[in-house]
């Protein structure tokens, strides 16, 4: 029988950290987590982004716990997702809020729908220059009995109220609406959603209103180290 205890330690080859980023969305050495769709898939002969769903949330929660267990250093989350499921998105939101480390989210492409809510959980919210911010009431799909529909509807009403609270808290903290009462901010949010199905802001507008803290590279240089300065 071979002596397993006497065997040489496993070598960690240089290419393995790169593979970990692509396989698991985690750079353990830099404290970076990639919040992106697990896999692209083909639907109706075109590529669709998976969005926020069970697999993304499960992997993200594992990655956060791994990074939190390593040190108290700040964490940078690279977020590139179109949004998605409410319950799974709120699991991600809660994980970020509960994290004892300082957390920055750097948003690529768009923070929209569920990902615009996740974005609010960070200690620092940074938009890429050409990314956009979007909020709306969301969509509801249902199949079941009338009683089940009424229960599902009640849950959607609660979810909408929670969403408004999250946005109102952010806008109250900073931005052009910070002097308004939370109730008035909620009214404003509902008014915008009554006017448009999807309410869009540029990266700069998102900062002006308080949905984001800064636009990355707005000073003419992309200073990566400063993303983790608080």
Encode pLDDT of 88-125 as tens digits: 999 999 999 999 999 999 999 999 999 999 999 999 99
Summarize pLDDT for 52-91 with one digit per residue, the tens: 999 999 999 999 999 999 999 999 999 999 999 999 999 9
- Give pLDDT, residue 9: 53
How far is Cα 167 from Cα 95, in angstroms, rounded to an integer? 18
Q: Which of 94-108, 130-144, 204-218 has the lowest mean pLDDT?
A: 130-144
Question: For the chain, what are the domain ranges?
Answer: 12-218
The pTM of this model reads: 0.88
- Does the pLDDT of residue 12 top 50, yes or no? no
Helical (H) or strand (E) element with 70 = helix 54-70
Is 70 exceeded by the pLDDT of residue 182?
yes
Q: Report CA 91 to chain centroid distance, whole Å.
A: 10
**Which two structure tokens, joined as six digits, stand for 50?**
């998976």
CATH number of the 12-218 domain? 3.90.226.10
């Amino acid at each position: 029988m071979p002596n397993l205890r006497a065997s040489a330690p496993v070598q960690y080859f240089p290419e393995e950290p790169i593979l970990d980023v692509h396989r698991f969305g985690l750079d353990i050495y830099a404290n970076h987590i990639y919040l992106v769709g697990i896999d692209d898939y083909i639907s109706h002969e075109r590529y669709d982004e998976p969005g926020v769903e069970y697999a993304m949330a499960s992997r993200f929660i594992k990655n956060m716990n791994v990074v939190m267990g390593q040190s108290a250093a700040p964490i940078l989350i690279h977020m590139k997702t179109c949004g998605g499921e409410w319950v799974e998105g709120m699991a991600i939101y809660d994980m970020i809020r509960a994290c004892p480390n300082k957390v920055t989210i750097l948003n690529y492409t768009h923070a929209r729908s569920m990902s615009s809510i996740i974005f609010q959980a960070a200690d620092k919210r940074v938009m890429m220059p050409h990314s956009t911010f979007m909020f709306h009431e969301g969509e509801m799909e249902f199949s079941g009995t009338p009683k089940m529909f009424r229960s599902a509807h009640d849950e959607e009403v609660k979810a909408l109220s929670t969403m408004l609270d999250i946005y109102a808290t952010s806008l109250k903290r900073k931005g052009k609406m910070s002097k308004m009462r939370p109730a008035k901010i909620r009214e404003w949010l509902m008014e915008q959603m009554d006017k448009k199905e999807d309410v869009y802001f540029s990266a700069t507008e998102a900062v002006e209103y308080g949905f984001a803290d800064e636009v990355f590279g707005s000073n003419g240089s992309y200073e990566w180290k400063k993303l983790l300065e608080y």
